[in-house]
Amino acid sequence: MIIKKILISLLIIAGIASVATGITIAYFNDAETSTGNTFTAGSINIAVNGQDPWQGAGYFTISDMKPCDTHYKEFFIQNVGENEVDVWKRFIVTETRGGAHPEAELSEDPDDIINNIDSAIIYDLVIDQEIIIAEEDNVMITDINDYWIYLGTIQPGAEMEVIQSYHMQDGTTNWAQGDEMDFTIELYAQQTRNCPSAPETEHPAYGKPDGAYVEIGDPVSERGHLSRDADDWSYVGRLDKDGNGYLNQGVYGGYDGGDANFRGLMGPPTGCNSGGANTHATLVMSACDGEVTQLTLRHLDGSQDDSFDAYVKVGANWVLIGHYEEDGNPSETWITSIFDLPTAMTGKIEFKLDATDHNTIWCDQGWGQVMINWAQID
């Protein structure tokens, strides 16, 4: 019994010793410390006509409008923040009223005074010299009232020219005499990174275009995809040829019915410099619904050498994703080519297309070279 107690005591002492030994055992180690770390929120900030905040009260006031009158109102939006921004504009009618009701107005319909002058004014919109809403589109103030219209993207330090025109519809009769309309113009800027949602009540026809698809040559579809100021995209090829070198699209392969526009990677008005300064154009796409793995282009294989390289930006570098080699056939055919990306990508994706055969003599004659009709990511 005594021996058993001694054994138990020895086991307890051994256990305590092992615990103590475990506490005092040392191992080789190293530690590093990072200090002075900070999270800083970036800025989203715009100015209008150099003013921040914009002193815009009464800026769009127009007096004494008459049928067939057109009044232009121009302003400039500057990105004075440090991040790329998407910009929208909203027109809000706050009140319409009949004014003094001149005798001519009362004589036309004395029992039903009409005060909706907003239904008699056509609205046009031009952004950076590209027509977004044309007069012939017959868009009335009532059609855009309280809708956000997407204007496009502005890089830090850059500006956007916005020209709006207001045209009193031909044939507006005496019911509109003396009528008045009060309205507000609102501008909204938002970060482009991480695919944020557009503002509510975005216009169904003039909202932000699909980020994964663009019709090259359609200014409405191109907003946010390409910049004529920053890129070497040529003029828009149109249906009729005129003295300015616009193209008859029927001789450019006819396309699929001959009713689509296009731009060239090189050509007027940006130039045909074979040294590389005017031989490429860039394109921005947005994969906001999941990962994409390829770029698809609809382009022309024409009578000249329309070969080109396609690149995607990875980090700060342009990575070659493919080359199209023209087929040597003098006929003109629209081609659909697919280029695989080096990896699955999401969010904002930048592409560069570079004409590899620089026929400047042909280009300088007003034709341009390497025509692109549409682009899509999947």
Tell me: pLDDT of 200 over 60.
Answer: yes
CA distance 264 to 225: 15
**Chain center to CA of 81:** 18
Q: Is residue 33 in a domain?
A: no
Considering the domain architecture, whether residues 224 and 152 belong to the same structural domain is answered as: no
The encoded tokens of residue 147 equal: 């809708």
| Identity of the residue numbered 278 | N
Cβ within 8 Å of residue 2, ≥6 positions away = none
Between 332 and 242, the higher pLDDT residue: 332
Choosing from 207, 235, 262, the residue where a domain stops is: 207
Q: Which stretch of 134-148, 323-337, 344-358 has the lowest confidence by average pLDDT?
A: 323-337
Segment 109-133, tens digit of pLDDT: 655 556 778 888 999 999 998 899 9
Quick one: the chain helix, strand, coil %, rounded to 5?
15, 40, 45
Q: Binning pLDDT at 50, 70 and 90, where does residue 312 land? A: very high
Q: What is the mean pLDDT of residues 170-177?
A: 80
| pLDDT (0 to 100) of residue 302 | 80
Of 207, 225, 258, which residue is a domain's last?
A: 207
Do residues 223 and 149 make contact, with C-beta atoms less than 8 angstroms apart? no
* 220 and 107 in a common domain: no
pLDDT for the residue numbered 260: 63
Q: How many domains does the chain have?
A: 2
Looking at 207, 224, 256, the residue that finishes a domain is 207
CATH code, 326: 2.60.120
Residues 224 and 177 reside in one and the same domain: no
Q: In whole numbers, what is the pLDDT of the chain averaged over residues?
A: 81
- 164 with 289, same domain: the answer is no
Q: pLDDT confidence of 99, banded at 50, 70, 90?
A: low
Q: How far is CA 90 from CA 74, 146, 149, 199, in A?
A: 15, 6, 6, 10
